[in-house]
Chains A and B, each alone.
Chain A
Amino acid sequence: MSRREGSLEDPQADSSVSPLPHLEAKIQQTHSLARLLTKYAEQLLQEYECATCEMGKLRPQERGGGLSSQRMSRAAVAPPEAALTAASPQVQHQGDPFGLPGFSPPRPPVAGLSAPAPGHAGLPVPERLRLDAAALAVLPPLLDVVRRRQAELNPRAARLLRRLEDAARQARALGAAVEAVLGALGAETGGPRAEPATAAAAAIAAAATGGVFPAKVLGLRVCSLYLEWVSRTEADLGQLAPGGPA
């Protein structure tokens, strides 16, 4: 089912196209932010796994059927910074075999956060946004845990650490923006989500301290989830944006 179909089936989606200019502007802003963060998330994932690998080789999860080919096409228009990174000397922050072609690390479950469900697109838009906001609320502490662990493993990988820090802050900002959109639409927000977020962070922190290798895998998984959720949010907001398919 395509997004357009999903949105057409959702009666609230039609009503969500607010005639109010400020709502449209808010949706537009949030959508732009989500689009921007999607690019940043791609860069983060690339930096985390293999700073010099091509984007196409970076997606074991995607190759596993996780994401659609849209992601690949988005990767093809990577920003100039990514191109610069690709030209830099070989940097593999996690070491071999991470980033090697054919390497498919496991996808361990992350406490409190799962990947977007296959039926996510079929849900009503407010529900989708609520799920997006919930995931975005859980991601910042997870990203913080990953950053701390990477600071021990790669203390000189300043760019990776900066991107992880930025990602946590940006995920928080995007989550807040989505909550604001939900509020403007009159839909119920998820309310304060500090508790599950803290619990998830505690769980992943415990998992990350179990061993370096699981921590690396878990960090990769968190980065991948961050990309998936930001991308998902971008797509969901695209349904509401004035120029979107809705």
Chain B
Amino acid sequence: MALTQVSSNKCAGGFQKVFEHDSTELKCKMKFAVYLPPQAETDKCPVLYWLSGLTCTEQNVITKAGSQLAAAEHGIIVVAPDTSPRGCNIEGEDESWDFGTGAGFYVDATQDPWKTNYRMYSYVTEELPKLINANFPSDPDRMSISGHSMGGHGALVCALKNPGKYKAVSAFSPICNPMQCPWGQKAFAGYLGSDRSTWEAYDATVLAGAYSGPQLDILIDQGRDDQFLSASQLLPDNLIAVCSEKKIPVVFRLQPGYDHSYFFIYSFMNDHIKHHAKYLNA
């Protein structure tokens, strides 16, 4: 598990670093970003895993989301992986921006030609935490997960499928019900095949309906002027309905005037980090 440091910049009293490694799950070289707060010099810190959305890499969140100051204030390590395996030379992986490269959808694919490399679910939930805990001053018992859009879907799914593993979960404009929206249907058909029952394992709305485990407290921010919301790609109402029925605590905030961009994430990142800090530092 050798790590190569790609970059390091001092930021908000700590360090924003990027590393590269050979991934065993994805069978290719993968980059990920790590923010180390000042407290990491002396103590073990909790970790927040951030999953980015379609077309993003590990760079977008660390340059555009403004998370470092809040992370430094609360002493939280922020880890941001890439959104798909890269350079695997799979035919068709670069054809669309919402499937293949930059669009891993945080699932373990079962269909050819994706199933060898496109195992982002296992990468995020298994390989990456082991790597982080072995190489950084992280507290292995205190981790949480968050993300934007496809990454929001990823965060919700990881939390719901792993009761008790993540101390907190939140999302920005997540894809709440991929089985019912064009994005999800395209991706799941490609990665998981045509049997829709296999899709349910990666759909946050379905998983919430069947969730049993320690109590969650989900914070979701959604821009009201988000074009993908009006294009029925995100479907938050479905998730809220299920959570209301199953009594899964959710606070869903519809923010007027905000869209799908990183400007929106930047505006509410502080609130989310505070939400995570409450549970990570408890």
A and B interact physically:
no
